[in-house]
Copies of this chain bind each other. A is one copy, B any other.
Amino acid sequence: MAVSANLVKELREKTGVGFMECKSALQEANGDLEAAVTILRKRGLASLAKKSGRETKDGFIGTYVHNGKIGVMVEVNCESDFVTRNPDFQELAKELAMHIAASDPRFVCKEDVGEDVLAGEREIFNAQARSTGKPENVLGKIVEGRISKYYSETCLLEQPFVKDPSISVREHIAAHIQKIGENIQVRRFVRYKLGE
C-alpha cells in the first residue's frame, strides 16, 4: 500500500521515529495512524505519545554567541535533573540556540502566535490571494498554504532544522525525546542582535 508523505510526517512528529520505520509501520497498518503508533511501540521505538504529555519541571539553559554579535539564550525543559546532566540533552540545548541564531524565529510554536498577529497576516494573505484573480474556491487553499508557510518561517518548532533541513526542529526534538526517554519542551528563548 502507498503511504502519503504527509502521513509519514505526522507519524514522525508524533513519535520521533525515523522515516523508514514510520513508513513501514504505516504500510503494515494500512495507513491507520494510531495502529502504526502501536506497531512502533511494540517494536520498542515509540513510547513517545505518553512522554510528550508528561510535565517538564527541570531543564537546561543553552546559549550561543556568534562572533559576539548575535546572542541566543534558550530554556529547554525536561522531566528530571538526571536528564539535565545528560550530554545529549545539553547538546540539544546548544544546537537549538545555534539554530535560533541562524534562523531567527519569532515564536516557539504556533500557539504562541497571537490571534491579532495571525488575523493581520491572514488579511494580507487574503488580499494577495484575491489579487491573483484565481477562482473563489481555491483562494481558501492559497491562504491556508501561506499561513502554513508563515508558521514554518516564524515558529521555532516548525522551522526546518538548520543542521538538517529535511526535518523540522519539532522532529529533531522528538528524536531526542525518543532517545533520551523523557518529554522535552522549549519553554522560551531570546535573541539579541548587536545594536538592533
> Which A residues are closer than 8 A to B by beta carbons?
57-63, 65, 68-73, 75, 77, 84, 90, 93, 188, 190, 192, 194-195
A126 to B59, CA, bound (A): 42
Residues of B contacting A192 with CB < 8 Å? 61, 73, 75, 188, 190
Asked whether, in the complex, the Cβ of B195 is within 8 Å of the Cβ of A57, the reply is yes
Copies of this chain in the oligomer: 2
A32 to chain B, nearest CB (A): 38
Asked whether, in the complex, the Cβ of B63 is within 8 Å of the Cβ of A73, the reply is yes
Residues of B contacting A60 with CB < 8 Å? 68-69, 194
A61 to chain B, nearest CB (A): 3
A73 to chain B, nearest CB (A): 5
A81 to chain B, nearest CB (A): 10
Partner of A61, one of B57, B58, B65, B75: B65
Residues of B contacting A57 with CB < 8 Å? 195
**Looking at chain A's contact residues, is the secondary structure mostly helix, strand, loop, or mixed?**
strand
A111 to chain B, nearest CB (A): 19
Residues of B contacting A65 with CB < 8 Å? 61-63
Instruction: Known A188-B192, A190-B190; judge A69-B61 contact (CB<8 A).
Output: yes
A62 to B132, CA, bound (A): 48
A24 to B71, CA, bound (A): 43
A59 to B73, CA, bound (A): 18
Instruction: Known A188-B192, A190-B73; judge A90-B68 contact (CB<8 A).
Output: yes
Instruction: Known A57-B195, A190-B190, A194-B58; judge A71-B63 contact (CB<8 A).
Output: yes
Residues of B contacting A71 with CB < 8 Å? 61-63, 73, 75
Residues of B contacting A90 with CB < 8 Å? 68
Residues of B contacting A59 with CB < 8 Å? 68, 194-195
A164 to B65, CA, bound (A): 27
